[in-house]
């Protein structure tokens, strides 16, 4: 049985795995991406692909702003614009009672020296989103935010990886891990991979992979539901969310409406399947038709759920394993990892190549979610 | 009884669904039948109740007339019949979501019989999406429901019993046929004949087919045999039709209406959505649900009856519906196992007789190879406008399966959920990757099964939110 040797084995062929592989390959590493099904099978292929700094946790703001700068030149990074358009993201207040929360948020990030989130009044809101129901009173906007095309993004990252000679190995799930000298041996059915460095980008299954290395990390799971409609004439350009309701509403390049917002279906990690809960999803349809009354008659083409990891504090896990040498984690993005894709790959490359990073990632340390070892 | 709960949910009120309902009611089950049509009968007996009172009945033929009794037995069987209902999701357990008159609601049942029939096999060729190009099945529906006959002479291209039957019906209704492009490949009769001994008991059916053919020959319109390739052209709508036969003869004719048909395939979206296993039916060039001798799928208490179980026609659909209903009655304790078994015995022999000629017909009317290998410029996915060439190019980058092809190209992402492009995509991928088509598989089906509007889905939420509303302080 032959063993294939690499400098880095990235486990998980979602966008974070591909981004890590791309940056590492550009830093001169020989990289394999090992994917149980196919690239973008789960969360990356099921995402609404919002590119959002708006409303980020304070701890995420520095890397999110850097990621946003990268999205604005994404074609330079991966050779394709990824369907990214910076038409802004808005968080809308339906009533005057919802405005104070938005005003406080603006004040809070201003105090940190950030200017990317800005309060707008009803008139400016109307100008930005004429199709919005007139009852809405104002919004918080991040004008440089936007959205991309998830499938195009997966393809672009994959092609960029292939151009850097990254080996992309699909239909190949890691079943066992062994230590051989300074290398990790990954056992995948009949195949074996050996590398001194492993990146865990296994998404919803990342805690299971971490456990193979001895890292016990508490991780939850999400199954966010999405609605896509038939195509219609241009209705709105920005991505709209709303205070107090689970709704994210946008129109794709193809003209379809893409409606999400974090309403949860059911996930089954063992079967790698998730299912839609229509009684719950009806709330999203109701929010959409309350905010955009013109869409009530629009036909739904497809609904789906994607399986992804969710941490206790909704912050990702990014950093070196405190126990296993050469193991680096990047998962747990809790429903808002798409925008961070370009920067997290760069962070991992810092960690692998330099052993440290100047970027602010202390809040994402794996240790915070690990069982305290019982003192001997 | 809560009106939202029944023992058995039957989806479809065609031959299989009606027969299942009558049998289930006879054994004391509470039954709900959902159907998207306004009246019972399915496709074969479409509009039978209204047509039965008119002279059109005679023109539509003997087997159509048979539907009148079935519809009346169904009407009086005591099933809760909900016409004009769009079923768009079934959750395990079972909870079914449907839309009626713009409102969504859900109902529950302990067992489900899917009697959702068949659809015409999509026939992609350059220009098949032009206005003026329709299917024979669609034209026949217009004939049955509205007595509608195209004003100008129609071209018909295809093979199988349906074009022959429709042409016979059309002539009887005063319509005109410009010509028939028979796409049955050369040598098919020889290939089919080896299946004939089994079908000898069905000589009456063969005689019926022959009498149609003879009547059509006498009608005097041109009949071109062994047509292999078609191309429809026109500025904004069909104006001309180009064809090429297997031996290279070409022709171009002016045409206002072209009706195409290359057989039918089971509707498998509902079984797929419920996670039922399917397998490839080599004789019928399609997937069929894997069923036991009662019509039960790999999912407990989910049954498929009628053409959805494999194409067999109305005469096979009825015993299949009854057999499934007997099994459900036994499962739910309304009928002993032994009684169900003995009642099923006669239905199974009826089914075997009804299917005896099928292998012969399948071999005779197997789709021509060009149906599965359209020219590069042909639109394959009508919803997302993806061409055969795009699929071919993508299929050889790696070894993508249907769901990756869908993500890469958007084929299959539109409102029809791949009903139009699924099989063509699978054949194109199989050919490009040099593997058997049955190995490629089908798209994963995502709900809803039928397009439901945002407003309709929102109406489902209105009830829920009323329940959750907090009492006024």
Cβ contacts (< 8 Å) between A281 and chain B: which residues?
457
What are B244-273's pLDDT values in tens digits?
999 999 999 999 999 999 999 999 999 999
Per domain, the residue ranges of chain A are: 3-48+151-216+313-369, 89-143+220-310
Integer angstrom CA distances of residue A355 from A149, A319, A328, A362, B242? 33, 10, 11, 14, 68
**CB–CB of B106 and A281 under 8 A?**
no
**CB–CB of B454 and A170 under 8 A?**
no
Which CATH code, of 1.10.490.20, 3.50.50.60, 3.40.50.1860, 2.40.37.10, is assigned to B5-119+265-359? 3.50.50.60
Contact at 8 Å (CB) between B318 and B12?
no
Number of Cβ within a 10 Å radius of residue A188: 19
Q: What is the mean pLDDT of residues B217-238?
A: 95
Is pLDDT at B3 greater than 90 in this prediction? no
ipTM of this complex: 0.92
Cβ contacts (< 8 Å) between B464 and chain A: which residues?
279, 282-283
What lies within 8 Å, CB to CB, of A320 at 6+ separation is: A327, A328, A329, A351, A366
By the 10 Å C-beta count (0-12 exposed, 13-18 middle, 19+ buried), B167 is classed as buried
Which CATH code, of 3.40.50.20, 3.40.50.300, 3.50.50.60, 1.10.1050.10, is assigned to B122-262? 3.50.50.60
Taking Cα atoms as reference points, which of A105, A104, A111, A120 lies closest to residue A56?
A105
Of the residues B457, B459, B460, B463, the best mutation for testing chain A's interface (the one with the most A CB atoms within 10 Å of its CB) is B457
**CB–CB of B401 and A38 under 8 A?**
yes
**CB–CB of A282 and B408 under 8 A?**
no
pLDDT confidence bin for B465, thresholds 50/70/90: very low
Q: What is the pLDDT of residue B462?
A: 61
Residue in A closest to B385 by C-alpha = A254
This prediction's pTM: 0.92
Question: What tokens does B299 get?
Answer: 């999912």
Q: What is the pLDDT of residue B147?
A: 87
Cβ contacts (< 8 Å) between A154 and chain B: which residues?
407
Taking Cα atoms as reference points, which of A167, A160, A192, A178 lies closest to residue A10?
A167
Q: What is the pLDDT of residue A130?
A: 97
**CB–CB of B451 and A301 under 8 A?**
yes
> Residues of A at the B interface (Cβ-Cβ below 8 Å)?
38, 40, 45, 151, 154-155, 170, 227-230, 254, 259, 275-276, 278-279, 281-283, 285-286, 288-289, 295-304
Residue in B closest to A276 by C-alpha = B447
pLDDT confidence bin for B471, thresholds 50/70/90: very low
CB pairs under 8 A between A and B: 97
Residue in B closest to A306 by C-alpha = B446
Contact at 8 Å (CB) between B334 and B17?
no
pLDDT confidence bin for B274, thresholds 50/70/90: very high
What are A129-177's pLDDT values in tens digits?
999 999 999 999 999 999 999 999 999 999 999 999 999 999 999 999 9
Q: How far is B394 from chain A (nearest CA, A)?
A: 12
Peptide bond preceding B242 in cis form (omega within 30 of 0) = no
Which CATH code, of 1.10.10.1100, 1.10.540.10, 2.60.200.20, 3.40.630.10, is assigned to B373-440? 1.10.10.1100
**CB–CB of A282 and B446 under 8 A?**
no
Q: Which part of chain B has CATH 1.10.10.1100?
A: 373-440
User: What is the homologous superfamily of the domain A89-143+220-310 according to CATH?
Assistant: D-Amino Acid Oxidase, subunit A, domain 2 (3.30.9.10)
Of the residues B104, B383, B407, B468, the best mutation for testing chain A's interface (the one with the most A CB atoms within 10 Å of its CB) is B407
H-state helical runs in A27-179: 43-46, 61-71, 74-78, 99-111, 122-128, 150-163
pLDDT confidence bin for B209, thresholds 50/70/90: confident
Q: What is the pLDDT of residue B2?
A: 63
Four-CA torsion B164, B169, B172, B176, nearest 10 degrees: -70
Q: What is the pLDDT of residue B466?
A: 42
**CB–CB of A302 and B455 under 8 A?**
no
| DSSP bridge pairs for A3 | A192
Cβ contacts (< 8 Å) between B413 and chain A: which residues?
228, 301-302
What are B180-208's pLDDT values in tens digits?
999 999 988 888 888 887 777 777 787 88
* Partner residue facing B457 (CB), from A154, A254, A300: A300
3-state helix, strand, coil in chain A (%, to 5): 30, 30, 40
Residue in A closest to B102 by C-alpha = A297
What lies within 8 Å, CB to CB, of B30 at 6+ separation is: B1, B5, B6, B7, B8, B80
**CB–CB of A288 and B454 under 8 A?**
yes
**CB–CB of A302 and B461 under 8 A?**
no
CA B50, B52, B54, B57 torsion-angle sign? positive
**CB–CB of A296 and B454 under 8 A?**
yes
Of the residues A286, A291, A306, the best mutation for testing chain B's interface (the one with the most B CB atoms within 10 Å of its CB) is A286
Q: What is the pLDDT of residue B215?
A: 85
**CB–CB of B453 and A298 under 8 A?**
yes
Integer angstrom CA distances of residue B287 from B263, B447, B449? 14, 19, 17
Q: What is the pLDDT of residue B59?
A: 83
**CB–CB of A282 and B464 under 8 A?**
yes
**CB–CB of B414 and A301 under 8 A?**
yes
Cβ contacts (< 8 Å) between B408 and chain A: which residues?
151, 155
**CB–CB of B447 and A303 under 8 A?**
yes
Q: Which CATH class, in words, describes the domain spanning A3-48+151-216+313-369?
A: alpha beta
* Partner residue facing B452 (CB), from A155, A259, A300: A300
What are B372-395's pLDDT values in tens digits?
999 999 999 999 999 999 999 999
**CB–CB of B89 and A276 under 8 A?**
yes
Peptide bond preceding B76 in cis form (omega within 30 of 0) = no
Q: What is the mean pLDDT of residues B71-98?
A: 96
The segments of chain A whose pLDDT lies below 70 read 1, 372-376
Q: Which part of chain B has CATH 3.50.50.60?
A: 5-119+265-359, 122-262
Is pLDDT at B468 greater than 50 in this prediction? no
Q: What is the pLDDT of residue A46?
A: 93
Cβ contacts (< 8 Å) between B465 and chain A: which residues?
283, 286
């Amino acid at each position: 049985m032959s063993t294939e040797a690499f400098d880095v084995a990235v486990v998980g062929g979602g966008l974070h795995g591909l981004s890590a592989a791309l940056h590492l390959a550009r830093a001169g590493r020989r990289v394999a991406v090992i994917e149980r099904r196919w690239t973008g099978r789960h969360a990356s292929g099921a995402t609404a692909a919002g590119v959002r700094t708006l409303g980020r946790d304070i701890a995420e703001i520095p890397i999110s702003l850097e990621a946003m700068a990268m999205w604005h030149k994404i074609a330079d990074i991966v050779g394709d614009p990824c369907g990214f358009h910076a038409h802004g993201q808005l968080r809308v207040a339906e009533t005057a009672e919802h405005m104070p929360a938005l005003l406080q948020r603006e004040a809070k990030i201003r105090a940190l020296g950030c200017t990317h989130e800005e309060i707008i009044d009803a008139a400016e809101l109307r100008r930005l989103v004429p199709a919005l129901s007139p009852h809405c009173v104002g919004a918080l906007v991040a004008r440089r935010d936007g959205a991309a095309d998830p499938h195009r993004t997966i393809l672009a990252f994959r092609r960029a990886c292939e151009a850097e000679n990254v080996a992309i190995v699909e239909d190949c799930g890691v079943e066992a891990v062994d230590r051989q000298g300074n290398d990790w041996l990954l056992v995948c059915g009949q195949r074996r991979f050996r590398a001194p460095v492993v990146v865990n980008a296994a998404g919803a299954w990342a805690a299971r992979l971490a456990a193979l290395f001895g890292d016990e990390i508490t991780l939850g799971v999400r199954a966010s539901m999405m609605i896509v409609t038939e195509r219609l004439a241009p209705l709105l350009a920005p991505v709209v969310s709303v205070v107090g309701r689970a709704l994210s509403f946008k129109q794709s390049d193809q003209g379809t409406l893409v409606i999400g917002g974090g309403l949860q279906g059911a996930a089954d990690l063992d079967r790698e399947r998730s299912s839609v809960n229509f009684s719950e999803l009806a709330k999203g349809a109701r929010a959409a038709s309350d905010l955009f009354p013109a869409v009530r008659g629009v036909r739904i083409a497809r609904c789906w759920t994607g399986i992804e990891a969710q941490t206790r504090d909704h912050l990702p896990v990014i950093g070196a394993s405190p126990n296993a040498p050469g193991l680096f984690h990047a998962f747990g993005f809790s429903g808002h990892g798409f925008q961070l894709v370009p920067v997290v790959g760069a962070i991992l490359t810092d960690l692998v190549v330099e052993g440290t990073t100047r970027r602010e990632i202390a809040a994402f340390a794996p240790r915070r979610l690990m069982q305290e070892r019982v003192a001997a | 009884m809560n009106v939202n709960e029944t023992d058995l949910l039957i989806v479809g009120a065609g031959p299989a669904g009606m027969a299942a309902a009558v049998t289930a009611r006879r054994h004391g089950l509470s039954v709900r039948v959902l159907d998207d049509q306004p009246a019972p009968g399915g496709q074969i007996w479409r509009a039978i109740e209204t047509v039965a009172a008119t002279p059109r009945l005679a023109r539509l033929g003997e087997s159509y007339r048979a539907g009148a009794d079935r519809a009346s037995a169904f009407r009086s069987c005591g099933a809760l019949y909900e016409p004009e209902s769009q079923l768009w999701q079934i959750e395990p357990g079972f909870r079914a979501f449907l839309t009626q008159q713009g409102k969504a609601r859900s109902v529950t049942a302990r067992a489900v019989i899917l009697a959702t029939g068949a659809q015409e096999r999509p026939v992609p060729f350059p220009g098949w999406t032009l206005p003026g190009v329709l299917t024979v099945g669609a034209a026949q529906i217009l004939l049955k429901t509205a007595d509608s006959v195209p004003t100008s002479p129609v071209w018909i291209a295809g093979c199988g019993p349906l074009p022959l039957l429709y042409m016979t019906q059309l002539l009887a209704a005063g319509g005109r046929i410009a010509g028939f492009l028979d796409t049955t490949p050369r040598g098919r009769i020889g290939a089919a004949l080896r299946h004939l001994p089994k079908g000898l008991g069905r000589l009456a059916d063969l005689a019926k087919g022959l009498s149609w053919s003879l009547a059509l020959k006498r009608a005097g319109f041109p009949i071109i045999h062994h047509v292999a390739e078609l191309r429809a052209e026109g500025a904004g709508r069909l104006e001309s039709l180009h064809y090429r036969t297997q031996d290279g003869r070409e022709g171009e004719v002016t045409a206002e209406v072209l009706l195409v048909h290359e057989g039918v395939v089971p509707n498998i979206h509902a079984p797929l959505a419920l996670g039922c296993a399917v397998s490839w039916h080599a004789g019928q060039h399609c997937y069929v649900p894997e069923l036991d001798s009662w019509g039960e799928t790999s999912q407990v208490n989910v049954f498929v009856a009628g053409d959805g179980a494999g194409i067999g026609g109305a005469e096979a659909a009825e015993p299949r519906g009854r057999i499934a209903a007997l099994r459900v009655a036994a499962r739910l304790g309304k009928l002993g196992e032994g009684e169900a078994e003995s009642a099923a015995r006669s239905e199974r022999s009826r089914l075997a007789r009804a299917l005896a000629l099928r292998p012969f017909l399948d071999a005779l009317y197997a789709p021509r190879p060009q149906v599965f290998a359209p020219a590069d410029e042909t639109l394959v996915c009508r919803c997302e406008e993806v061409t055969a060439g795009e699929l071919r190019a993508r299929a050889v980058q790696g070894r993508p399966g249907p769901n990756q092809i869908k993500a890469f190209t958007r084929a299959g992402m539109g409102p029809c959920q791949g009903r139009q492009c699924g099989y063509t995509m699978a054949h194109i991928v199989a050919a490009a990757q040099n593997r058997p088509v049955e190995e490629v598989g089908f798209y994963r089906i995502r709900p809803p099964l039928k397009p439901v509007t945002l407003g309709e889905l929102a109406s489902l939420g209105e009830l829920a939110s009323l329940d959750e509303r907090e009492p006024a302080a």
